[in-house]
């Protein structure tokens, strides 16, 4: 007779007294990771990650601008040529957050360690993923031409760059707001409508505090294309939502990024020390994921350790730079 049947053992980690004895432990950790990411991420729900299965890459295609002609009586009209191109993203890295709990410490811990670790894993993953999106948005904004080789310039453009006149102009409410107006004007001249093309403007808390002092901004609520309501203090500048995030790498020089490698030309490294703000639409980026956020808690009977893991595999690259813009210090 099994021990459970003989003594009617209650296992607090089981669901409905059946199945894996640590099922609720795993769920508790998973929920902690996911809920923390939702709280700490500035871009969760805003960037679409396309599923990448059965291959390591995903491509997006572009068609160059059409040319109009006219009909001349007595002559057959000629066709016009549309140029085509593509952008390809390779996903080749699994990012992992892992904590190891030795057996003795597990028994001697007086607090909910799984929940606390889940929160820390969630914070780190949220910052890491946001930062990678912001990095590629800044790189898209810095581009002077389309990445779609073969399409040419017709109908496709580089990003928009605005450079402030003074080194501290980003701390002046009026001057910073004026640079935002100039940025959106430059994007509009490339047939991008910041209001209807789902553009957002991202700044760090210092610049956000500066903008709050400008009476031209209005408090608002932001709803994504998927219908997700973004709560909290959301400002609009020229009709465009302004978000603040410490995950934005402006003012930083990023080296040794976990997603960077020789094969992708260290695509996630970059010097953003002079950047102040970035505006971009989801169309500015091409994102894909092979492994969505996954979590696990498992026991190693050889080493007598608990492993608490969270992992994911994704990537992002510039797609349509005209849907991105950057404000910089001189």
Give the tens place of pLDDT for each residue, 83-124: 777 889 999 999 999 888 877 666 556 556 667 777 788 888
pLDDT on residue 2: 47
CA dihedral (187, 193, 199, 200) in degrees, to 10, reads: 70
Nearest to 133 by CA among 48, 56, 18: 48
Residue 125 φ/ψ, nearest 5 degrees = -65, -40
Tell me: pLDDT of 38 over 50: yes
- Rounded Cα–Cα distance for residues 302 and 307 (Å): 12
pLDDT on residue 34: 64
Domains, the chain, ordered by start:
38-63+81-328 (3.90.1690)
For 218-272, the pLDDT digits (tens) are: 555 545 445 555 444 568 888 899 999 999 999 999 999 999 999 999 999 999 9
pLDDT on residue 11: 37
- Rounded Cα–Cα distance for residues 231 and 291 (Å): 28
Tokens matching residue 103: 């057996």
- Rounded Cα–Cα distance for residues 195 and 200 (Å): 9
pLDDT on residue 140: 98
Spell 273-306 as b/e; 16+ CB within 10 A means b.
Answer: eebbbbbbbbbbbbbbbbeebebebeeeeeeebb
Between 123 and 283, residue with greater pLDDT: 283
DSSP letter (8 states) at residue 327: E
Tell me: pLDDT of 326 over 70: yes
Listed in order, strand segments (DSSP E) in 139-262 are 160-163, 200-203, 218-223, 229-237, 240-244, 253-254
| Rounded average pLDDT over 128-147 | 96
- Rounded Cα–Cα distance for residues 179 and 165 (Å): 10
Tell me: pLDDT of 24 over 70: no
| Rounded average pLDDT over 6-28 | 44
Tokens matching residue 176: 């910073």
Banded model confidence at residue 328, pLDDT cuts 50, 70, 90 = very high
Distance of CA 330 to the CA centre of its chain: 27
The H-assigned helical ranges of 158-317 are 173-188, 205-212
pLDDT on residue 13: 42
Judged by average pLDDT, the poorest of 11-20, 278-287, 296-305 is 11-20
- Rounded Cα–Cα distance for residues 185 and 122 (Å): 37
pLDDT on residue 12: 37
- Rounded Cα–Cα distance for residues 328 and 330 (Å): 6
Average pLDDT of the chain to the nearest whole number: 83
- 314 close to 49: Cβ distance less than 8 angstroms: yes
- Rounded Cα–Cα distance for residues 217 and 272 (Å): 26
- Rounded Cα–Cα distance for residues 168 and 317 (Å): 31
> Which residue do the tokens 């004007």 mark?
185
- Rounded Cα–Cα distance for residues 160 and 157 (Å): 9
């Amino acid at each position: 007779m099994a021990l459970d049947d003989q003594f009617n053992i209650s296992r607090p980690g089981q669901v409905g007294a059946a199945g894996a004895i640590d099922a609720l432990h795993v769920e508790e950790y998973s929920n902690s990771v996911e809920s923390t990411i939702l709280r700490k991420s500035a871009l969760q729900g805003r960037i679409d990650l396309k599923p990448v299965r059965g291959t390591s890459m995903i491509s997006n295609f572009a068609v160059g601008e059409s040319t109009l002609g006219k009909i001349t009586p007595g002559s057959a009209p000629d066709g016009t040529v549309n140029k085509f191109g593509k952008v390809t993203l390779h996903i080749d890295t699994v990012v992992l957050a892992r904590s190891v709990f030795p057996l003795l410490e597990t028994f001697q811990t007086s607090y909910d360690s799984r929940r606390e670790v889940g929160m820390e894993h969630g914070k780190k993953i949220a910052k890491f993923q946001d930062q990678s999106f912001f990095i590629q948005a800044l790189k898209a904004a810095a581009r002077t031409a389309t990445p779609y080789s073969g399409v040419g310039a017709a109908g496709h453009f580089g990003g928009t760059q605005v450079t402030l006149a003074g080194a501290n102009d980003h701390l002046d409410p009026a001057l910073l707001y004026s640079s935002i107006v100039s940025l959106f004007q430059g994007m509009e001249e490339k047939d991008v409508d910041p209001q209807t093309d789902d553009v957002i403007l991202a700044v760090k808390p210092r610049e956000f505090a500066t903008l709050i002092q400008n009476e031209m901004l209005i408090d608002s609520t932001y709803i994504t294309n998927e219908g997700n309501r973004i709560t909290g203090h959301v400002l609009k500048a020229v009709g465009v939502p302004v978000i603040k995030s410490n995950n934005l790498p402006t003012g930083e020089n990023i080296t040794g990024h976990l997603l960077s490698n020789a094969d992708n030309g260290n695509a996630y490294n970059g010097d953003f020390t002079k950047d102040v703000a970035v505006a971009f639409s989801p169309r500015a980026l091409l994102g894909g994921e092979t492994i969505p956020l996954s979590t696990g808690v498992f026991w190693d009977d050889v080493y007598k350790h608990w492993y608490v893991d969270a992992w994911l595999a994704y990537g992002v690259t510039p797609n349509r730079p005209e849907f991105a813009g950057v404000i910089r210090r001189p």
